[in-house]
Chain A
């Protein structure tokens, strides 16, 4: 079946540590992936994206890694802060021609301990 999923439902880290959130996808034809952060009561917020012609992309304190061989995606957050506490979703953008849709995984809850 076609799905996008996350390995762990909850990740707890100490403030200042690095966080790694993982995601597995099953559609080998997918070539665009997005990480979203969702805080309580809010809509998903875009963090970073990556296309399949790249293995790594960096943003401010965040890095996304893509391993197409094993169909695995990860989000690394450096020096995790309390404000990073949220649910993180990976999403796979499946588009063909003019049609597109984002397929979301179940989400990983990141808890940052002070």
Chain B
């Protein structure tokens, strides 16, 4: 596609429910990143994929968070048993290679009520 696409744009879920956030990177981009951004803050790194390999998940807050990119393209970030503190903007980015500029999607605004 022309840019990084994320869906849904907005998600409201009840505490305790699982959610899955989708990222469709720019076609051909090897590297894919997930970030979380609180209001007024810079994006906070969550995890990084090189093709289908999750090579860095050091930013995932706890084991309720997981991500996959099974075919090296579309990625899903899953949050199990959501809590109110999980409410944030979740952003995906992709880059052609690991050391080139990353392009961000519009994000998914998650609200846990």
Contact = CB atoms under 8 A, between A and B. Distances in A.
B7 interface: no
Secondary structure type dominating chain A contacts: strand
Contact of A101 (B33, B103, B105, B106): B33
A18 B70 CA distance: 47
Contacts of B44: 104
What class of interface size applies to chain B in its complex with A?
A: 20 to 34
Contact of A99 (B42, B55, B103, B106): B55
What class of interface size applies to chain A in its complex with B?
A: 20 to 34
Given A43-B91, A43-B105, A45-B104, A100 B99 contact: yes
Given A43-B4, A93-B99, A102-B35, 17 more contacts: A36-B104, A42-B106, A43-B107, A44-B43, A49-B101, A89-B43, A91-B42, A98-B53, A99-B48, A99-B50, A100-B56, A100-B98, A101-B58, A102-B33, A102-B45, A103-B45, A105-B42
